[in-house]
Structure 1
């Protein structure tokens, strides 16, 4: 009998068990484990693309166009490790990311002529805040109830993630009001450059193996997912993309997001959870392989 075949027993978590940077009682675990995050991640990418310097840094230093699926997978693994990994795993992932960012050469955004560094705190702060806003917004619009107090708590918890990428936690919003103020204040800097438009179009129709494209519904399903993420952007961001910022779009997108979430929730929990999340929940529950 292999370890995976053995019956499992539930015990109290052992004293000193490492539950990571957040733990099962955090709002972060509650939000990040929800199926709505599949759409929220793509909304964050679309929102990040509206900052010219962030988009230039991404385009100059990312292998997204050569390996889009690998790039998306690595981003998902980063979020999962920071959320559910042990403290050591999360801190190690943060150190690797900071070293990578520091090693990248400065660049110039071609349309504005402005120079940038990937590890510029202003750019890191934009990426951080758009992720937090997207995860929180899509979660709430997909149906689950979340009080304002818990929304504030989530924004505050995510300052730990900001520290890992190299930001001073004191310089990022600690509550929902602060997050909204930040997003409002940065809007004059935003526009959709030619590079951003090209990459967004590519993101809607990334390359797929022929058999996947022809024998499965993967292509239309992917386009539908990205279209939903685009519809869930705030009205001002949709207008940057040349789309209407009508309230009817908000209502329709929220309805579709709820339907998608309920469909995914019908799947077994282990199918929906990454390996690192399953391991974290086992540590939290004190579940260990029984003796042979």
Structure 2
């Protein structure tokens, strides 16, 4: 009897722990409200990307650990463009409200990937309106605008290449994308950037590599970029949150291209990245996935895409 009570007590502790972690994760990433109405209908709507469960974009954007580590890597990589960084420094509220900024970004990615076509266009229209107000002069004297097609292409390419790197590093080996599927991923996510106003968006691994090689001479770690990375590495409202962010940030360093790590002054040995950072991030990621359970967003989107369209 005592053993049964002990087992029941252990289960109760685990259930409570899982609920606390799940609630905190939902609050931090989604603001506590998943807004499932964006994903549940209309029946048969395949969304902006025109894809379905099992397609590369769903698999990459549906893997939490890859997206968290890839997201941090994307922020660091994007900071190397002086004009993009000037826009963030002069217009973003990421310092005063970093969680709000994370929630906005997460909602945009999930809505444009898994949401219905009307929900995706609503999210894109909102971002386009915001971009019209984000313009100014960078510290080096150059004018910038968040609506600049070239800048939009940079932000998109840095983001999705980091997401893909995170997925390939942290998804189970059997779930990782083949070379052909990696090319398909870039093609599938390009419409989001194009709808925002980007032009000449890379649509394959080779095109992304060529694009990054071509833009490298224009990238550098400005004081603002280095300061933003320091802010990210120390972010956290609680000790537990700072611990998780620290683990994920260290792991994200390993996703960056060698030249980006060098530019940012991140001289973390490969052995440390491979034997210490990656296993710890994998453990943290699996814990978060266990706490979250099956994704309600993906389940709603799967029901929508699998349902026959309603005849008008």
Q: What's the TM-score, normalizing by structure 1?
A: 0.82
Q: Which residue in the other structure is 2:150 paired with?
A: 122
Q: Shift in Å at residue 64 of structure 1?
A: 0.8
The higher relative CO (CA closer than 8 Å, separation ≥ 6) is in 1
SS in structure 2 at match of 1:158: helix
- Confirm or deny that 1:278 pairs with 2:285: no
Is the counterpart of residue 206 in structure 1 residue 235 in structure 2? yes
Give the structure with the larger helix fraction: 2
- Give 1:39's aligned residue: 69
Q: 1:89 to 1:154 in 2, by over 3 A?
A: same
CA contact (8 A) 1:85 1:277 kept: no
Structure 2 residue ranges without an equivalent (≥5): 1-39
- Which shows bigger deviation, 41-50 or 250-259? 250-259
Structure-2 change in CA distance of 1:107 and 1:141 (3 Å):
same
Match of 1:151 among 172, 175, 182: 182
Q: 2:110 aligns with which of 77, 80, 89?
A: 80
Q: Secondary structure at the match of 1:100?
A: helix
Moved more, 231-240 or 254-263: 254-263
Q: Which moved more, 1:252-261 or 1:80-89?
A: 252-261
Stretches of structure 1 that go unaligned for 5 or more consecutive residues are 1-12, 288-292
Matching residue of 2:136: 107
After TM superposition, the score normalised by the length of structure 2 is: 0.77
- Superposition map of 1:118-267 within 5 A: 118-142=146-170, 143=173, 144-168=175-199, 171-206=200-235, 208=237, 212-213=238-239, 217-244=240-267, 247-248=270-271, 251-252=274-275, 253-267=277-291
The alignment covers a number of residue pairs equal to: 262
CA RMSD of aligned residues (A): 2.4
